[in-house]
A and B are shown apart, each in its own frame.
Chain A
Amino acid sequence: MAVYSDGVMADPNDPLDQLAAWRSSGRNAALATVVRTWGSSPRPVGSLLAISDRGEMEGSVSGGCVEAAVVEAALEVIRGGSPQLLEFGVSDESAWSVGLTCGGQLEVFVEKVE
């Protein structure tokens, strides 16, 4: 546990606290949230991933399958300002056989903290 300048107890492993820490040090940041899942997505609706303008992350929206793409979109959202809705998934049953770690589909909302 650590205390940041605003005085609210902060946990560096908490996405919201991490966002606040980045913002208070003058950095831009975005928040990604799982809004819908189908099939075997590993993280439930409401799961959060905080992303800094340097591409640092805290939290998760999947078991690691889509985080890289979410970070890329987040950097775009940080530059442009408008939120984005991202869809990830496999529409083809055969995709399972190539060993995708998460066979589910998910929708992720990415917004800038401003």
Chain B
Amino acid sequence: MKSATLERLRAARAEKKLTALVTDLESGAERLFIDGEVIDDETTGTSAPSHHSIAATDGVVAAVAEACRKDTSRVIEDGSRRLLVRVFHPPKRLLVIGAVHIAQSLAVMAREAGYAVVLIDPRDSWATPERFPNTEIDRRWPEESLADLAIDRRTAVVTLSHDPKLDEPALSAALASDAFYVGALGSRRTHARRLDRLRENGFDDEQLSRIRGPVGLDIGAVSPAEIAVSILAEITQQLRVA
């Protein structure tokens, strides 16, 4: 790996860009992709292949796209060459608003699924380390905390508090961001009323259609843990299939 490639990889990762590096396992020749775009060779300044870079053929581009979508590194065969496709995506995050019972299960499950979980709830008696061991707790109001947490496209946001004072500012912030998933707990009636209020705040129907509500896949979930499963399943579906 060239030092310049290492620096570009780290810079792109810091900017939350989706990066993939393709490397010839025999020669070490490489080609960087950032957000699906072929990055020019550092030495030649073009995307043309050279002895230390790889041609971005249709096959290579398709394999990179597939690896990025599935977020998994892999080896591909390109003619007689074996190419290593390494995916360097920023970590997945889940921001949960409302330290309710469902959140207790969801925090644990999401962490197991590879998410960095942040629990947001300004109410002292709800968001305690005893109820949420090993979870990052943010006791600020959602408006302030979400502005600070810089929601990106590897972030999922789900509101569970049942309190419009907490949930709605969080949904507004999520809709104004690149979050790949926005979910809101609440019955159909609650959700309809919530959408009306958000509409009054200037969001149009297309923007509001990003909110998954009632939250979670319809698997007949009853208990808080089962509802957490349905939410995590929906987040996974949005991440992998959408």
Contact = CB atoms under 8 A, between A and B. Distances in A.
Contacts of B84: 33, 35, 109
Interface stretch (A16-24, A61-69, A88-96): A16-24
A82 interface: yes
Interface residues of B, number: 23
User: Interface SS of chain A: helix, strand, loop or mixed?
Assistant: mixed
A111 B75 contact: no
A9, A19, A35 pick with most chain B CB within 10 angstroms: A35
B106 to A, nearest CB: 24
B25 A8 contact: no
B6 A45 contact: no
Interface size band for A: 20 to 34
B122 to A, nearest CB: 25
Contacts of A17: 10
B19 to A, nearest CB: 11
Contacts of A6: 7, 10
Contacts of A19: 6
Interface string B5-36: 01101110110000000010111100000000
Given A35-B25, A83-B28, A114 B2 contact: yes
B66 to A, nearest CB: 14
A35 B75 contact: yes
Nearest to A110: B28
Contact of A9 (B14, B86, B87, B88): B14
B10 A45 contact: no
A16 B28 contact: no
Given A9-B14, A20-B10, A113 B3 contact: yes
Interface of B: 1-3, 6-7, 9-11, 13-14, 23, 25-28, 72-75, 84, 86-88
Given A33-B86, A109-B25, A113-B6, 10 more contacts: A6-B7, A8-B11, A31-B1, A33-B73, A35-B25, A46-B73, A83-B25, A85-B25, A113-B2, A114-B2
8 contacts: A35-B75, A44-B73, A45-B72, A45-B75, A46-B74, A82-B28, A109-B25, A113-B6
The 9 closest A-B pairs by CB, nearest first: A46-B73, A83-B28, A8-B14, A8-B10, A45-B73, A113-B1, A35-B75, A35-B84, A111-B28
